[in-house]
Structure formats: C-alpha cells, structure tokens
Chains A and B, each alone.
Chain A
Amino acid sequence: MSVAARAWTCALALAAAACGDASSFGGSVDRGSAQALGTITRERPTDDVAQARLAMQQDAWRREHRFLDAVSPGHLFGATRVLQVEIDAGVWSVDQLYQLGGQLFTLQLSRESGFGRGDGPLLRRIHDGRRGGPDATSCSSCHWRGGLAGAGDAADNAMLRGDGFHASSAVARNPPALTGAGVRERLALEMTAELQSLRDDTVAFAASHDYAVRIPLEAKGVGFGAITAHPDGTVDTDELEGIDADLVVRPFGWKGTIASIRDAAEDALLIHHGLQSEHLVIEGDEARVGDHGDDDPDGDGVADEINEGQVTVLSVFLALQELPQEQPPDDPYLVSMWARGRVDFETLGCARCHVPELPLDSARVVLPHRYGGPSLVIDATREGAEPSLAPAAEDGTLRVRLYSDLRRHRMGPALAEDRSEQGVPADEFLTPPLWGVARSRPYLHDGRAPTLEDAILLHGGEAQASADAFAQLDDPGRAPLRVFLTSLVRARRLVTP
C-alpha cells in the first residue's frame, strides 16, 4: 500500500471512528449523511399501471426532497455522501447503493458541492485541455435520450481537450448511452484475461523451447492480430490489432481508451463538472486536477468534493444499468422485413465487427476496492436494473447481445480526427455496441449522423466494403436492415418527468 493510500484509509477510518485497525472493514459502522431517497429504482414492474404508480411515487419524493434541500441546503448532495467504509462494512444493500448512485447521477450540482473550478468561468463549453470544462450541471442532462442514463443529443457533444475557447481546437464526442455498462466491462475483463493468458503461455513456451513463437490472438472468437514471443521473454506486439500492447480490452470511450466504469465515472465528474474525487486529488496529476494545492487543487474553495464512496456508488449505478432489448415489430409485413434485415446484417458484413452476441462466463460484476478493502461483487442477472441480463442457459453460458467485438478498428479518413488520442490513431475507434441503438440518435463519435442510414454510409476503412455493399442497394433494398436496426431499443418504460 502506498503512503498516500494508507493516509487515505486512515482518514476514512477516522471518519468512522476506528482508525488504524483492519477490522474497520466489516466492523460496526454508522451511516453518515447518505440516504436512499426513493427517487430511483431498479424495478420495472411489468404491469403498466404499477409502473406508472411507481414513477409518480418517485416523482413525489423527488419534489419533496428538493423542497427539503432548500430548507436544509446540501440535503440532496449530503444524501449521496456515502463513506467507503460504510460500503465496505456492508451497511448498504445493493439496491440502496444503486439508489445513492442514481441520486448522484441525477443531482443538480452546485458550487457549494464543489461544482466548477476556482480558476475559470463557471461554465466552459470548450474544454481546457485535460482539466475539462465544466460543461454540464448534472450527469443526466447529457445522458437522457431513450431514458435514464441514455445517450446525448448532438447539442450535448462534449468538446474535449481544446484550448478552452476555440471550437476548432477540441474534439467532439457524443455522449453514449450507458446501458449495460457492467456487463460490458465484465466481457472486456474476461477477454483481457483470455488474451493475457494466451500471451503468458506463449512466452513460457518460447522460453522453454528456445525459439520464437508467433501466435494469433483471439478472445471470445474476436481476433486481435498476433504476437511473437521471443526466447528471451520479450514480446513483439507489432502485429496486434485493435488493442493496446498491454492486451487490456478497454471497452469504454469512443476510442476504447477506458478500461473501467470507475475510471470513466471519475473522469466524467472531473472534466464535466469540476468535481474532484479524493482519489484523483491524492494522485495529484496537476494537468488534470489543477495546481492550487493538495487540499483543493482546483482552487474553488471546496475541498473533499467527491469521496471514494460516492465514486463507488456512481460506479454501482452505472454497472447495474438495464440491458437494451430487441423488440421486433408486430405487423406481419414488418416482421418479414425485420427477419430479412437480420440476415442482411450478417451478409453485408456488419456482424463482423458488430458481433451480435458474445458469450459471458460469469455474471459477477466486480468493483475492485482501490485501497485494500473488499471488492464489491454484484450479480448482473439478479441484481441489475430491470431488464437485467438473462440467467444462464442450460449449458451455463450467458449470452450478451451487445453487437460489438469490443476492439478498435480503422474507420478511414472521412471519420478520422485531426489527432491521435492516447496512442490510438486518429481514424481508429472502438466498435460501438449497437444494442439499444434506435434509442441513441444521433450517431457516430461526434454525432454527425442524424439517422442510422447516414451512419452506415459514413463507415470507411475496415468497414468500407460493408458500407459500399449497403450503398449499392436501392432504397427498398436497404429497408430490411433499417427495420432490423430499429428493433434494437430499450424496454418500454413509463417515466416522469
């Protein structure tokens, strides 16, 4: 454990009045100010009226707690302020953790809770390097289309890593839907394990047999190029495709540069809201958090803006997001078109990258503890927001209909940006999952495509042949694929507002 990490654990334990003792994990811990308010739920009653009543009930709580927040300023933020030790001690149920995360996700952030930074304007639409904006006053204001934790409009595009002023200096990123994030992360972890074990076996083989071995890499049936292991233990990664040299599958971010939900959530809090997590403050990378000192690096007069527990509950909320659904049309003619489109999706080659289904070994979504405490382990089939992952088939395999291979591909010059990102070439992007795609307009990394058809036609690079094949069809010929893609939605849900 690093010095910083130890100091951190101690600080937390102090808050729980039990410092310096490993038993602080799992001992008796009182709840702090956090409170599940009844405004968020994982449930989706199948009965419409029950669903409606639940929505109305949540809305009533939302309003009443908002009034309470006026009377006791900080009430709503405080209600999300859960300590990691409380989580570690198991005083919160998964359902409550989900609610706390959802409350943070939907909270209107304010300066009092650390929104913004002291050395810049309150809102900064075009980001200032890695420091970011802030550009939004809540997570849900950019993730709304199609429902809670949905996608963002083109107007909501983040303008990342700019000079703070010029649109031309930034890269535009359309907010993706966050549905099924936990399962997505789990798939990537299993693929990473598979790839790294292949590599390690190959290295061992090369060393013991004393000759170089070249082996194609594959995980869950997805190819990642090849590596060559040399007898001296070195690995030649020049032939790798769609993945970093460390063989970690990073399933988040348009460029596939983010490995975990926690990293994504923590970075989003930082760059979109100026909310600095305890962890990032301890890390102290001034390019990201600012240089106004250890306690309050962004200099906005608020220290300890987001604690580790809050990052955890936000991650839990995201990890348990409902899974998108496939809902074919009812009309018999439409059904026949849909069925044809399903086949076209394969024959046109879409399915080569947008792999419809990936097998999953385990539905256990694991949120590792960053400071030596117990990991959170959540069963995505039983504990996920409804509709959640379907339980395992008879053979024990879970099937995730993600429509992605979770690797990166070259998409050609038309989609290329003016710069590479963290070593990922300018025209290389992660295959975005197409589950729920009909509820996440507009399309592509910068939202340039208002319709699915526009998006398809803008594919280039490795997808050029598929796009060409689609382009050669006349309008009636394209219809089946469009109908099929239109069936990739989210479960119908009554909400308010």
Chain B
Amino acid sequence: MLLLAALGGDDPVPWPGGDPPSDAELGQQVDDALEVHERERFEEYLEALEKGEDAEHIFVLQEDIDAGLHDLERLFQFGDALFGHEFRSSEGYGDAGAPVPMQRVHRGRRGGLDSFSCRGCHSVGGEDGAGAATQNAFLLGDGDDIRSTVVRNPPAVIGLGYVQALAAEMTIELQFTRDQAATQAVTSGQPVSVALSSKGVSFGQLEARPDGSVDGRAIEGVDGDLVVKPFGWKGTFPTLRRVVEDAALVHFGIQSHVLALGHQEQPDPERLGPGPDWFDPDADGRAREIEEGLLTATAVYLALLETPQIIPPHDPGLRDRWARGSARFDEIGCAECHRRELTLSQPIWAEYSDTSEGPPVTFNLLLDGDMPRSSARVQLFSDLRRHDMGPELADPHEGPAGAPPPATFLTRPLWGLAESPPYLHDGRATTIVEAILAHGGEAEASRAAFTELSDEARADVHVFLLSLSRAPRLRVPR
C-alpha cells in the first residue's frame, strides 16, 4: 500500500531508467515523427490527386535492385509503404468471385480476406506491432464455420532480422554436423550417431549410416531438413521473404510473381487457385500482383526494424522484485526454452533474389538497423525450436501434410511481450499469468513450479516479464 501511495498523481514521473528524456533526445524523436507524418500527409494528398499514385510506392522490380538502383533507405521505404498499403481489387486484392467484403474464415490453404493492409492487423503496442484478438486469423477453414479453422494471433514484427539471422546460423551448424557425420559414416563404414546442437540448444540426435543415408527419427524440434524455421507460431517459415509472400496471399489474395513462377513449375491450385493461366492462378485478371522486388524490399524493411527492449520498473522496490523475478524465471525452468539470449556470430544480412542471379542486398544488422538495436547477444527469450505444448494448447485440427503436429509450437520469443496482449497462438490468454498457466507438455514442470510459488514470487516473475517491452517511441497516429 505504501508503494501505491507513493505513486499518487502529483509525484515525480516514474521515468524508465530514472531520468526524463533529454531535450535533445526528445527533439530528435519529435523531428523524426513529424517528418514521417508530413511525408505521409503529402503522399495522402498525392494519392487523392491521382489515383494509383500510392501503388507506385510499392512497385519495385528485382532487376532494378539487382542493378543497384535502390539504396538501403529506399528499399526500407518501399517495405514501409507496403506495410501501410491498402490493396484494392484493381491491384489483385481477392480473387475472381471472392465475396467482398471480408472473408475472415479462410477457405483452406487459399486463405481469406482479412484486411486491406498489413498495418490493419499489427496495431497493438506501436507501429509494426502485434494483433488484437479481433485481428486473429482463422486459417485453413471451410470458409464459413469458425470451428473448422486454426486460430492465429498476429505477432509483432519487430526485431525479426536478428531472429532470421540466428536461425540461419543454427541451420548451418546443424546441417554441418549432419554432413560431417554422414562423411564419417561413409569413410569409416560404421554408423555414426551425433547429438544435434547449436548455440547451446539441443535438437535431439541423428544417426548417419555407412551408405550415406541418415536416420533422423531422433531429431527434435526441427524438421528433418534441419532448417530452423523461426517464423510462424509453429515454426514453419525460414525467412521473412516467405512470410511476406504467404501473408499477402492468405490475408489479401495478393499473389507474388515468385509464387506464380513456382506454380508454373509445380502447380498448386489448392493454395493458389484453379485459374487456367499459371501467371494468374486466382484468375482475377491481374498477373504479377506484387513484384519479386517488393518481397526483397519488405524483407529488408522488416530486418531493419527496431528491436524490443528490456525496460525495468522505476520504483526501487519494484526494481528489487524485478531482479528477483528475473532470477526466478531461470529457477523454475522458463529459460530452458525461452532461452534468454542467443549469440549472433555473423551480423551481415544478405537478401538474395529467388529468381535472378543478382548480388544480394547486404547490410550489417548491428550497424544499419533502426534504433533501438540489439547487440550481438540477442535477448529474444527463445530457443527457436519447436516443443510439444500438451493437449490443452493443441490446435483443434491437423495442419496440412508435413505440418507440425497440433500440439507442437515454436518457442515464442518473449521480447516485447508486455506490448503484445493477448497471448498465446490464438490470443486465448488475456494476461501473462494466464498464458503461463496454459503451458503444458514439455513446459508442464515449469508451469507446475510456477503454481507452487508464493503469490509474491509469482508476482515477481510477472513484474520481470512486464519489463520485456518496446522503447517508447513517438508517432502521429494514422
């Protein structure tokens, strides 16, 4: 109660970190926010003046990127423009005969129509944020009955460059281990069993046979190809590029040219549509709905976004509890999967084209990203592998062929947690404590340990988790 009384209305502001932002710092943030606002305001008028103006802001050819015509800043702007772009049917939104308005209950792998823009479902906790419960996607359904779907809450999309880069390094390490074992098995003529591990995270083991084949039955938390796929609630997308492509497809019916090219090679009408022409699978009369260059630009944009931050409380008493909660987080086993940090060895990003031989777009995550940035010790609170979460959290339906089992989910990175309610894959938890209590399966022991804590110790953990946040950042709402 004393604590509460001390925080009454006229008391000093509890600035995070102790001090108010300096005038210079604030002035810079104001300038940045207003610059973005003024630019957007002007572009809004330009679009009013000439319809289709804003479509030009998302038209970027891979050939031009290959030719080095766009610098990093320009690519970032293309990606930013896509994130806010409102797609219309004249641009390929939806497909021929798709009911307008929204199709919130998806039709199988074809998806639905959820919003007109990315921003429409990432509005919680700031720009490029998480999704509200209403913004949940209802995937893989029958088009009408919501019980036929699997439910997914939109995650925040900041800090993802580090996530992809870490996963890629883990993939290389795991595959190297496998290849070495295979070579050894072939040369020695003996089966070779190796433990799979990367960055201190175990992925089970595999056995290489003398004939060069691999027994992967004991691999854990990753697909048999040992590609660590850090995106999607079930860990099914390896790169931001593929995430953007799939999101545009299932949420807007916008089909990237790369998808169409793949469809030409290997038709996938169930996902892309039954159109007679490979270049317009959804038969809405629009081909090349988005160019490959936009996938590149948007992947670059996402990789460059700010990183979540740990922002402890102001009050000294609360800070003590935060520190105790942090220790308790490890003690009860949360950190075994929600690994506090993974170390990045190679911060150079290389965004390769899918279809051209052009040079990749490269930059240094640790130098070029938006502020605030992470260091090479990336505090994302995830091991980037999949775990069985028990029957309570399991999806009500099997996914498509090859998808992880219903109860299997990627360890959700907890950075930025406090700014991303509601929680869990379907947004079922309105509070962090509810989310913890819903854990089962491999997390059952930790859940039980949490429930056995005193009220005070549980609150400490809660305080700690609420510090996983985002830096306050000024903006003008749009």
Which A residues lie at the B interface, using CB under 8 A? Answer: 35-38, 48-49, 52-53, 55-57, 59-61, 63-68, 70-73, 75, 108-111, 115, 122-123, 125-126, 135-138, 141-142, 144-148, 150, 152-159, 165-168, 172, 329, 331, 334, 337, 438-439, 441-442, 446-448, 450-451, 453-454, 475, 478-479, 482-483, 485-486, 490, 492-497
A-B contact pairs, 12 of them (CB 8 A): A63-B469, A64-B318, A66-B418, A72-B4, A135-B134, A155-B120, A156-B132, A482-B49, A486-B44, A486-B45, A495-B477, A497-B419
For residue B463, which residue of chain A has the nearest CB? A70
* Pairwise interchain contact B430-A49, C-beta atoms closer than 8 A: no
Contacts of A146 in B (CB 8 A): 477-478
Contacts of B427 in A (CB 8 A): 123, 137
* Pairwise interchain contact A110-B48, C-beta atoms closer than 8 A: no
Query: Does B271 make an interface contact (CB < 8 A)?
Result: no
CB distance from A275 to the nearest CB of B (A): 12
Query: Does B26 make an interface contact (CB < 8 A)?
Result: yes
* Pairwise interchain contact B26-A52, C-beta atoms closer than 8 A: yes
Contacts of B21 in A (CB 8 A): 53, 56
* Pairwise interchain contact B102-A483, C-beta atoms closer than 8 A: no
* Pairwise interchain contact B7-A64, C-beta atoms closer than 8 A: yes
Query: Does B384 make an interface contact (CB < 8 A)?
Result: no
Contacts of B34 in A (CB 8 A): 48, 494
* Pairwise interchain contact A48-B30, C-beta atoms closer than 8 A: yes
A483: which of B3, B49, B133 is its contact (CB, 8 Å)?
A: B49
Measured CA separation A126–B141 after assembly (Å): 14
Given A122-B428, A125-B146, 10 other A-B residues pairs in contact with their CB atoms under 8 A: A38-B9, A56-B26, A60-B15, A71-B459, A72-B4, A165-B145, A166-B146, A172-B101, A331-B45, A442-B86
Query: Does B401 make an interface contact (CB < 8 A)?
Result: no
Total A-B Cβ pairs within 8 A: 253
For residue A113, which residue of chain B has the nearest CB? B430
* Pairwise interchain contact B123-A144, C-beta atoms closer than 8 A: yes
Query: Does B450 make an interface contact (CB < 8 A)?
Result: no
Contacts of A150 in B (CB 8 A): 477
Q: A125-B146, A154-B116, A167-B104 are in contact. Are A70 and B33 (CB under 8 A)?
A: no
Contacts of A75 in B (CB 8 A): 4
Name the interface residues of B5-42: CB closer than 8 Å to any CB of A. 7-9, 13-16, 20-21, 23, 26-27, 29-30, 33-34, 37, 42
* Pairwise interchain contact B318-A496, C-beta atoms closer than 8 A: no
* Pairwise interchain contact B430-A111, C-beta atoms closer than 8 A: yes
Query: Does B253 make an interface contact (CB < 8 A)?
Result: no
Query: Does B462 make an interface contact (CB < 8 A)?
Result: yes
Interface size range of chain B in the complex: 35 or more
Report whether over half of chain B's contact residues are helix, strand or loop; otherwise say mixed.
Answer: loop
Measured CA separation A141–B132 after assembly (Å): 6
For residue A487, which residue of chain B has the nearest CB? B45
For residue B476, which residue of chain A has the nearest CB? A492
Query: Does B147 make an interface contact (CB < 8 A)?
Result: yes
Measured CA separation A55–B93 after assembly (Å): 37
* Pairwise interchain contact B430-A145, C-beta atoms closer than 8 A: no
* Pairwise interchain contact B146-A126, C-beta atoms closer than 8 A: yes
Q: Choose, from B164-172, B308-316, B330-338, the stretch at the interface.
A: B308-316
* Pairwise interchain contact A167-B146, C-beta atoms closer than 8 A: yes
* Pairwise interchain contact A438-B135, C-beta atoms closer than 8 A: no
A494: which of B48, B103, B120, B475 is its contact (CB, 8 Å)?
A: B475
Q: A56-B21, A155-B115 are in contact. Are A494 and B474 (CB under 8 A)?
A: yes
* Pairwise interchain contact B129-A49, C-beta atoms closer than 8 A: no
Measured CA separation A329–B44 after assembly (Å): 10
B49: which of A438, A453, A479 is its contact (CB, 8 Å)?
A: A479
* Pairwise interchain contact A496-B48, C-beta atoms closer than 8 A: no
CB distance from B118 to the nearest CB of A (A): 11
Measured CA separation A48–B103 after assembly (Å): 41
* Pairwise interchain contact B44-A438, C-beta atoms closer than 8 A: yes
CB distance from B100 to the nearest CB of A (A): 6
Name the interface residues of B23-71: CB closer than 8 Å to any CB of A. 23, 26-27, 29-30, 33-34, 37, 42, 44-45, 48-51
For residue A483, which residue of chain B has the nearest CB? B48
* Pairwise interchain contact B88-A451, C-beta atoms closer than 8 A: yes
CB-CB nearest 5 A-B residue pairs: A448-B101, A141-B132, A153-B120, A497-B126, A70-B462
A155: which of B29, B126, B135, B467 is its contact (CB, 8 Å)?
A: B135
* Pairwise interchain contact A494-B114, C-beta atoms closer than 8 A: no
Query: Does B178 make an interface contact (CB < 8 A)?
Result: no
* Pairwise interchain contact B138-A483, C-beta atoms closer than 8 A: no
B472: which of A59, A135, A156, A475 is its contact (CB, 8 Å)?
A: A59
CB distance from B242 to the nearest CB of A (A): 22
* Pairwise interchain contact A137-B422, C-beta atoms closer than 8 A: yes
* Pairwise interchain contact B473-A157, C-beta atoms closer than 8 A: no
CB distance from B70 to the nearest CB of A (A): 27
Q: A71-B463, A137-B132, A142-B134 are in contact. Are A64 and B430 (CB under 8 A)?
A: no
Q: A52-B29, A154-B116 are in contact. Are A64 and B144 (CB under 8 A)?
A: no
* Pairwise interchain contact B459-A49, C-beta atoms closer than 8 A: no
Query: Does B361 make an interface contact (CB < 8 A)?
Result: no
